[in-house]
Structure 1
Amino acid sequence: MIEEESAKSGGDHARTWLVLGALVGGLLIGALSARLGDGVREPLVRIAGAIGGLWLDGLKMTVIPLIVALLVTGITGGADAARAGGIAGRSFIWFVVVLTLSATIGGVTMPLLLKLFPLPSSATDALRAGLATINQADAAASVPKLEDFVAGLLPTNPIAAAANDKVLALVIFTALFAFALTRIEDDSRASVTRFFKAVEQAMLVMVGWVLWLAPFGVGALAFAVGAGAGGAAFAALAHYIVLVASVGVIVVLAGYAIAVFGAGWKLGDFFRAMAGPQAVAISTQSSLAALPTMLTAARSLGVPDRNADVSLPLAVALFRATGPAMNLAVAIYVAYWTGTPLGVPTLIAGIAVASVASYWAVSLPGALSYVTSIAPIALAMGVPIAPLAILIAVEVLPDIIRTLGNVVMDVAVTGAVARHTPAAD
């Protein structure tokens, strides 16, 4: 999944398509490299794997410090918003509930979709052979027993948890630390928050440097995969796009359900009111760009200005409803590709991290939020993250569904909050 950017410039679009072109070109050249013979092909695969692996390591080195910094600033900022007034507090509660529901949808529906619509076994075997050239350092986790899963939720040493990629335990510690910050005096909290904000900004600069090289890294990794998987890689990518987008569509439908049962609107009225915001969402892939039309839609549905003017801007800033479901779906799909077993405790860990990951993905450009949101979920589930470096190139297509779902859910939740807000607030 790429989460939509606050605003996308023409240069951002050009780079996105450049990365996608590098993916397609790398896969195609890799698939054709078999004609060169093993004497030429194998050295090329090793060189491409080394280049792609170095680029991937550049992304991985920023993940842990970045998610800690983003989670601290996200939770403290959300807590401040919730304390700002009754409407803001109710909105924040709705955000938490819907994000958890979204993660659960992803954790339940993606395994079901993979069971109902599996990739042909020949394509799966070929793809795993290709992925083996780039993810040899990623060890799939064994399925933990339930008692081991529960025992590992709280880290005895948070630094060791970070060093060993025990993401769920690290996220729980960081969340508790961030909530504890909201209970101390304002000056002390502000100084700690400023420190983590500075860490966040520095890490984002570093990730930006790495992503500037994405066409080279993605192209090299795609060549290695194409050389091992051949034409099966293209079928696998198409299968991936359809299934991940399908999970997003389910979240869109859940937004319509909240509009009807939570906000109390008629289905036809909501559908007509959302025509404008949905058109903007599809064309721009930006919730922020759709905000004016969302405000118009909410008011046409009877939402008071005091609710629309608080809940909708908060939703655009803090709420990514499709993120948990589609991010977790990506991680589950990568597990399916690589043959990583997923037991119930592993899925629970994925749902937990996916729910929280949206809190640190707010207001980030698309490629950055992809790295900061999906990689921690995969690490928490013991899923190799190397394939994510290839999938980032095709997220331009599921991103349309992500933005569409976010816009629908923003207005639906705004209506639900308004319906349950006393007139005195």
Structure 2
Amino acid sequence: MSQSSRILLSLILGLAVGAALAGWAPGAVALTVEIAGPIGTAWLNALQMTVLPLVFSLLVTGIAATAEAARSGAVAARAIGVILCVMVFSAVMAAILTPLFLNLAPMPAASGVALRAALAGTAPAGPVQPLGEFLVGMVPSNVVAAAANGGFLSLILFALVFAFALARIAPEPRALLITFFSAIRDTMLVVIGWIIWIAPIGVFALAVTVAAKTGTAAVGALLHYIVTVSSVGVVVSLFAFPIAILGGRIALTRFVRGAAPVLAVAMSTQSSLASLPAMLRSSEDMGVPVATSGVVLPIAVAMLRATGPAMNLAVAVYVANWFGVEVSFATLCAATAVAVLTSLGSVSLPGQISFIGAIAPIAVTLGVPVAPLGLLVAVETIPDIFRTMGNVVMDLAVTLTVSARGALAPMSSADALLQDRAG
């Protein structure tokens, strides 16, 4: 059984035990909450303590890798340009779609009230700041103090400036710093791996606590969450088809036939990397030269999470709606930018790690509590299927678009070398 399956099973078991206690043994609820509550909270705190160093190191190394790839040739530069446009589009769509879906099909009122009561200790960050104060707070006088106080937006802005400045220094110290932050990133991933290993215990404790307080209300809320967030991912994924048709100049039926085997692999493996061989074969069948697909698809698998910004932002907006947090236009715009950057930095990470690492900064930017993520990560197995399917179909669409644009552009010396090697 995979770790994600164990976590999901722990959630189901915890909800069942908690609901059974609430319905048939209400006298045991207080003792159960007193025992299980601290265990779940301790596990969640352990997960949160890794977010700051992980996010900063991922952003620095991710942007450095992106800049290095962009310098490797015209095909790579075109691919990165299209990938960044897709990720920005993904986040903007979530900012529009998630409030729309929540207005059309809101969370059941009883479930929202019950869950807020069950997570009463996870209060939002506070009232919405005026626009002027919000903009000033983005540039703190002390970035260390801002990070200590959960100022993710300030930390991300500093990491962005730091990473771009890093690209301008001499190669030797640049390589030294990249190695340093890569070591921090890898160390944090090991620590998070340990924390995820005991996740079934933490998730079970959280689920028991919530279900014991709310009964079956938690089940309906989680199902509503899965449908809402997955729907955002599906809508964003569907845009891969017009991108392929218009940008890649391919017939719809041909693209559907080429994408079908890739989607089957993605659904069964829930891994873009495992789907790479199928994507290479399908892109070749759709007429993409090997010299192009051999460059673009690995970059897309490494960088592009087409559904990442959309579904990550959707989770944070959902939690804001859940807790009744007012989201201003300025904070929503900032959260949209954070969603793009954290998705760019969290590529190729296991689902449970990227879920917390990518969504926690967005949640803090919106002023919503992070604690509910410890419960929502347990059901990520289901939305992750839609995430992966959307990612791979968009990888194919981007590859077709870059190939079509390259056919109209003069061939650079780097592209010519790749073409010679492929031939």
**Residue number among 202, 205, 217 corresponding to 2:202 in the alignment:** 217
Equivalent residue, structure 1, for 2:48: 60
Equivalent residue, structure 2, for 1:122: 110
Equivalent residue, structure 2, for 1:95: 83
Say if 1:248 and 1:405, in contact at 8 Å, map to a contact too: yes
Distance 2:137 2:282 in 1: 46
1:17-48: CA deviation from partner (whole Å, max 9, x where unpaired): 11111111111211222356665321321221
Deviation at 1:83? 0.4
Equivalent residue, structure 1, for 2:65: 77
Deviation at 1:293? 1.5
Is 1:316 equivalent to 2:321 in the alignment? no
Distance 1:356 1:258 in 2: 22
Equivalent residue, structure 2, for 1:19: 7
1:336-360: CA deviation from partner (whole Å, max 9, x where unpaired): 2222222212211210110101121
Equivalent residue, structure 1, for 2:411: 424
Deviation at 1:328? 0.6
Say if 1:155 and 1:173, in contact at 8 Å, map to a contact too: no
Distance 1:419 1:336 in 2: 42
Deviation at 1:321? 0.8
Equivalent residue, structure 2, for 1:368: 353
Deviation at 1:122? 1.8
Equivalent residue, structure 2, for 1:409: 394
After TM superposition, the structure 1 stretch with the greater mean CA deviation from structure 2, 396-405 or 251-260, is 251-260
**Residue number among 372, 376, 395 corresponding to 2:380 in the alignment:** 395
Distance 1:279 1:323 in 2: 20
Letter in 2 for 1:99: M
**Residue number among 273, 276, 279 corresponding to 2:264 in the alignment:** 279
After TM superposition, the structure 1 stretch with the greater mean CA deviation from structure 2, 153-162 or 30-39, is 30-39
1:144-203: CA deviation from partner (whole Å, max 9, x where unpaired): 222222222222211111111111111011011001101111001000111101111111
Say if 1:141 and 1:381, in contact at 8 Å, map to a contact too: no
After TM superposition, the structure 1 stretch with the greater mean CA deviation from structure 2, 307-316 or 37-46, is 37-46
Map 1:19-418 to 2 at 5 A.
Answer: 19-35=7-23, 39-132=27-120, 136-418=121-403
After TM superposition, the structure 1 stretch with the greater mean CA deviation from structure 2, 86-95 or 338-347, is 338-347
Give aligned pairs, total: 410
Distance 1:139 1:123, change over 3 A: closer
After TM superposition, the structure 1 stretch with the greater mean CA deviation from structure 2, 273-282 or 139-148, is 139-148
After TM superposition, the structure 1 stretch with the greater mean CA deviation from structure 2, 14-23 or 172-181, is 14-23
Distance 1:35 1:417, change over 3 A: closer
Deviation at 1:308? 0.6
Distance 1:291 1:34 in 2: 47
Distance 1:252 1:329 in 2: 14
Distance 1:290 1:15 in 2: 20
Taking only the aligned residue pairs, the percentage that are identical comes to: 48
Gaps of 5+ in 1: 1-12
Gaps of 5+ in 2: 413-423
Distance 2:127 2:28 in 1: 37
